[in-house]
């Protein structure tokens, strides 16, 4: 099939990824290409040039705002993105794609869905955002195309605005995210915890450090600092001798750190729509201790890890201790069965085939 993928513009679609959506988009486009589809990715021009990239801005908007204005100016970012997506959608109105698949965080593709020659498919990667919600209220979802949601929990939050949604759980590349050696064995050396992701308050990095210390474990923290004040005042002061902040690492180094940990901590202070970090860690054979928020209860079963009540640091410390007894091989097998990337891509391909290829004239 000929497929147009609308990416988001806030960060480059390039390794090392700024977050889960960038990682998902790159892996998804690469998988579609491997499976023989003709794919164009509409994204920021500083994305990975090895992708079938069609730039619609020269630079990703968040780092460009920081470079130009010295801060993240959301109004400036919205203006730049709205202009880019408006021009893109007019361009796509004269295209011949079999499917136009929207992974952006912008309301503009929904607004222009009616002018496209093929049905717009949007994957909802986020909780209810005000601009998207406003667009759906004004236009009604049935006029904006078809929708996929990445978890039952996230779909429920969107249901008042999007009554009809297909659920396709995100997947991870279990050929890459996998244990080394004998996956049932715990790593050699002292027990350690690992936390990885974007470092900002809504991800709860400081709570992970506190819980690891309560459980008697040092911790490795990995990821880009997205809120410098939060890192300097809430995260760095908690790091002790034996703890390490490793910065923003490429996937290969991140995988090594996960494999070497006894437990991975996932500490959302918001309702995570999915939680790719859970699946990536467990696919490496590392059990997950986390907070029962958002979609985490859909992913973390008894084979994968243990959950504590939201923001409950003592409860999370107990979950960490329980995870040390879990079988690492069971973690791997569970993720391979439930959240493998090939399963997810095949689900999307079946959905593509069910969509109207052309809108009737």
Q: Give the integer Cα–Cα distance in Å for 269 and 357.
A: 41
Residue pair 270/127 in contact (Cβ under 8 Å)? The answer is yes
pLDDT, position 190: 65
Q: Give the pLDDT confidence of 60-69 residue by residue, as tens digits.
A: 999 999 999 9
Q: Give the pLDDT confidence of 126-173 residue by residue, as tens digits.
A: 999 999 999 999 988 889 999 999 999 999 999 999 999 999 999 999
Give the global pTM: 0.89
Q: Give the integer Cα–Cα distance in Å for 193 and 262.
A: 6
Residue 175 burial class via C-beta count within 10 angstroms: exposed 0-12, middle 13-18, buried 19 and up? exposed
**CATH for the 2-171+340-354 domain, from 3.40.190.10, 3.40.50.2000, 3.30.1330.10, 3.40.50.10600:** 3.40.50.2000
Q: Give the integer Cα–Cα distance in Å for 329 and 284.
A: 9
Residue 288 has pLDDT above 70, yes or no: yes
Q: Give the integer Cα–Cα distance in Å for 234 and 236.
A: 6
Q: Give the pLDDT confidence of 191-230 residue by residue, as tens digits.
A: 999 999 999 999 999 999 999 999 999 999 999 999 999 9
Provide the edge-to-edge strand list for the sheet that holds 99-102: 53-57, 38-44, 2-6, 99-102, 120-124, 146-149, 166-167
Q: Give the integer Cα–Cα distance in Å for 78 and 3.
A: 26
Q: What is the mean pLDDT of the chain?
A: 94
Residue pair 271/293 in contact (Cβ under 8 Å)? The answer is yes
Residue pair 108/89 in contact (Cβ under 8 Å)? The answer is yes
pLDDT, position 356: 72
Q: Give the pLDDT confidence of 290-309 residue by residue, as tens digits.
A: 999 999 999 999 999 999 99
CATH code of 193-339, in short, is 3.40.50.2000
* Secondary structure string (H, E, C) spanning 80-123: HHHHHHHHHHHHHCCCCCCEEEECCCCCHHHHCHHHCCCCEEEE
C-alpha angle 238/224/21, rounded to 5°?
Answer: 125
Strand partners, 191: none
Residues 6+ apart with CB under 8 A from 167: 148, 149, 150, 151, 152, 155
Structure-token match 């050696």, residue found: 181
Residue 265 has pLDDT above 80, yes or no: yes
CATH 3.40.50.2000 maps onto the chain at 2-171+340-354, 193-339
Tell me the percentage of the chain whose pLDDT exceeds 90.
90
Q: Residue 166 has which token pair? A: 């297909």
Query: Within the chain, what is the greatest distance between any pair of CA atoms?
Result: 68
Residue pair 180/166 in contact (Cβ under 8 Å)? The answer is no
Distances (CA, A) of 337 to 134, 279, 281, 333, 343: 38, 11, 15, 6, 9
- CA-wise closest residue to 89 among 48, 171, 145, 34: 145
């Amino acid at each position: 099939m000929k497929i147009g993928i609308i990416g988001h513009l806030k960060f480059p679609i390039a390794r090392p990824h700024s977050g889960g959506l960038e990682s998902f988009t790159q892996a998804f486009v690469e998988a579609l290409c491997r499976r023989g589809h003709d794919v164009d990715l509409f994204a920021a021009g500083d994305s990975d040039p090895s992708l079938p990239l069609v730039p619609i801005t020269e630079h990703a908007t968040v780092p460009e705002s920081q470079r130009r204005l010295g801060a993240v100016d959301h109004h400036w970012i919205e203006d730049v993105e709205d202009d880019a997506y408006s021009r893109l959608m007019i361009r796509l109105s004269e295209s011949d794609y079999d499917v136009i698949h929207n992974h952006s965080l912008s309301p503009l593709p929904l607004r222009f869905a009616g002018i496209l020659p093929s049905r717009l498919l949007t994957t909802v990667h986020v909780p209810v955002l005000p601009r998207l919600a406003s667009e759906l209220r004004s236009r009604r979802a049935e006029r904006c195309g078809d929708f996929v949601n990445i978890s039952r929990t996230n779909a429920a939050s969107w249901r008042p605005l999007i009554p009809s949604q297909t659920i396709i759980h995100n997947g991870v590349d279990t050929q890459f995210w996998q244990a080394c050696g004998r996956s049932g064995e715990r790593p050699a050396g002292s027990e350690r915890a690992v936390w990885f992701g974007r470092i900002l308050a809504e991800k709860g990095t400081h709570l992970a450090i506190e819980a690891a210390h309560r459980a008697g474990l040092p911790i490795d923290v990995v990821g880009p600092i997205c809120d410098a004040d939060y890192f300097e005042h809430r995260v760095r002061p908690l790091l002790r001798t034996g703890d390490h902040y490793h910065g923003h690492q490429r996937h290969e180094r991140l995988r090594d750190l996960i494999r070497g940990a006894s437990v991975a901590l996932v500490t959302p202070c918001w309702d995570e729509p999915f939680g790719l970090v859970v699946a990536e860690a467990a696919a490496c054979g590392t059990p997950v201790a986390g907070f029962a928020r958002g979609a985490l209860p859909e992913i973390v079963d008894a084979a994968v890890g243990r959950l504590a009540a939201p923001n409950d640091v003592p409860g999370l410390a107990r979950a960490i201790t329980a995870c040390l007894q879990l079988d690492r091989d069971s973690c791997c097998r569970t993720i391979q069965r439930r959240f493998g990337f090939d399963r997810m891509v095949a689900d999307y391909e079946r959905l593509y085939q069910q969509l109207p290829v052309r809108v009737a004239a």
